[in-house]
A and B are shown apart, each in its own frame.
Chain A
Amino acid sequence: DTGVSQDPRHKITKRGQNVTFRCDPISEHNRLYWYRQTLGQGPEFLTYFQNEAQLEKSRLLSDRFSAERPKGSFSTLEIQRTEQGDSAMYLCASSSLAGGTGELFFGEGSRLTVL
């Protein structure tokens, strides 16, 4: 399977704990995006990388959130001191700058439940 993969698919944690999600993009894609989606809403942009450089961060991304893409391949999104309001689906997507429409290819998401 050469699509975008995310791990874990589901995470249940207690308030105050730290969680980390991993995303492996399509191998030839140089851009990687993180979005958050709550129930019944559209995805909200969090941040994106071009290769290993983090080019933009949403104001939604509080200082408890950090994302990395150390070697320009996979990325991690860490949430520290989780709060119940962090419960959501975290979507990763990748795209190529090599022409085309620039459509985003999404993974199946990581669902976070904070108790």
Chain B
Amino acid sequence: AQKITQTQPGMFVQEKEAVTLDCTYDTSDPSYGLFWYKQPSSGEMIFLIYQGSYDQQNATEGRYSLNFQKARKSANLVISASQLGDSAMYFCAMREGYNAGNMLTFGGGTRLMVKP
């Protein structure tokens, strides 16, 4: 089974609107971390937001928030007030286990296109 599933290959959003990018995960480890990265056309991977499995509240970082639904094993990224510069690939990733240094497993990504 896929550990990280992103079911939306591509998404369009109107500038200034909010958009939700879906991510579901699969793990039997009670301790894990969930990450979202942005990859613009230039190629670098940019860390956006993190949610730990024991965190009680949904993570927020500026215009980014993570809708963490533990029972459903979903960790959707919400981008508010979309900007043209948000057009990029977005990857959800998971780290299993307590060790903060464990490797990340990535999903297949969602391409977000922001329309002016």
A: which residues have CB within 8 A of B?
Answer: 30-31, 33, 35, 40-45, 48, 50, 56, 89, 91, 93, 95, 97, 99-109
- Contact (Cβ within 8 A) B100 A108: no
- Contact (Cβ within 8 A) B33 A91: no
CB distance from A14 to the nearest CB of B (A): 24
Name which of A56, A93, A103 has the most chain B CB atoms within 10 A of its CB.
A103
Q: What's the A-B contact tally at a CB cutoff of 8 Å?
A: 62
- Contact (Cβ within 8 A) B109 A42: yes
Query: Given A103-B35, A103-B50, A108-B43, A43 and B101 touching (CB < 8 A)?
Result: no
B: which residues have CB within 8 A of A?
Answer: 4, 33, 35, 37, 42-45, 47, 50, 52, 91, 93, 95, 99-109
- Contact (Cβ within 8 A) A41 B109: yes
- Contact (Cβ within 8 A) B43 A89: yes
Closest 7 CB pairs between A and B?
Answer: A102-B100, A42-B106, A106-B45, A101-B50, A31-B101, A97-B101, A103-B47
Query: Given A99-B100, A108-B44, A41 and B108 touching (CB < 8 A)?
Result: yes
Contacts of B100 in A (CB 8 A): 95, 97, 99-102
Task: Select from chain B the residue with minimum beta-carbon distance to A35.
Answer: B106
Contacts of A102 in B (CB 8 A): 33, 95, 99-102
Task: Select from chain A the residue with minimum beta-carbon distance to B42.
Answer: A108
- Contact (Cβ within 8 A) A109 B43: yes
8 A-B pairs, CB-CB below 8 angstroms?
Answer: A35-B106, A42-B108, A101-B33, A102-B95, A102-B100, A103-B47, A104-B47, A107-B44
Query: Given A99-B100, A102-B100, A103-B35, A44 and B44 touching (CB < 8 A)?
Result: no
Contacts of B108 in A (CB 8 A): 41-42
Q: How far is the CA of A103 from the CA of B100 in the complex (A)?
A: 8
Q: How far is the CA of A42 from the CA of B106 in the complex (A)?
A: 6
Q: How far is the CA of A60 from the CA of B97 in the complex (A)?
A: 22
